Amino acid sequence: MQFDARTAKALQPGQHMAFDDYPGLRLSAMAKVRTWFYRYRSTVDGRLRQVSIGHWPSMSFPAAIVAWEALKNQRDSGSDPVLEAKQAKLEAKALILKREAANSENAYTVRVLCDEYLTGHVWSYN
């Protein structure tokens, strides 16, 4: 199927367009948006996966093809784009938790304030 803007605009929620020249590239219609997806079979575990590329019309058909090619090349090289994205998200979350833990150790809390007040003003007079 060739891309046609009128057909894309007329898609009903739940319908999609697939393109013969670009295997795995789809334009799926939801209630309010049309989203570009790349569907593929994972080289890691053989499962069918889907990754969102962008929304139409803010991402044009040629831009979706460029993004599709990048994801397809990534998959063809033996990696799984969805699993790599999940791994990157987990690493970012772990980094944030590590920073929060470091900040909480050095945080100036009410307890520290009270201890400083008591040792500096109340107990120093005894």
How much is the pLDDT for 124?
62
> Taking Cα atoms as reference points, which of 35, 54, 119, 47 lies closest to residue 82?
47
Do 89 and 57 share a domain, yes or no? no
Do 28 and 51 share a domain, yes or no? yes
Q: How many CB atoms lie within 10 A of CB 15?
A: 13
Q: How many CB atoms lie within 10 A of CB 121?
A: 9
How much is the pLDDT for 36?
92
How much is the pLDDT for 34?
92
Do 85 and 99 share a domain, yes or no? yes
Number of domains in the chain: 2
Q: Please give the radius of gyration of the chain, using alpha carbons only, rounded to the nearest integer.
A: 26
Residue 61 makes CB contacts below 8 A (sequence gap 6+) with 3
Of 79, 98, 115, which closes a domain?
A: 79
How much is the pLDDT for 101?
77
Q: What is the pLDDT along the chain (126 residues), one digit of tens a residue?
A: 778 788 888 888 888 888 888 888 999 899 888 999 999 888 777 788 888 898 998 888 899 989 889 888 888 888 788 888 888 888 888 888 888 777 777 778 888 888 888 887 777 655
Amino acid at 19: F
Q: What gap in Å lies between CA 70 and CA 73, rounded to an integer?
A: 5
> What sign does the dihedral 104-105-107-113 (CA atoms) show?
positive
Do 63 and 36 share a domain, yes or no? yes
CATH number, residue 55: 3.30.160.390
Do 4 and 64 share a domain, yes or no? yes
Domain that includes residue 125, residue range:
80-126
How much is the pLDDT for 125?
59
Side-chain half-sphere exposure of 12, counting CA atoms within 13 A: 0
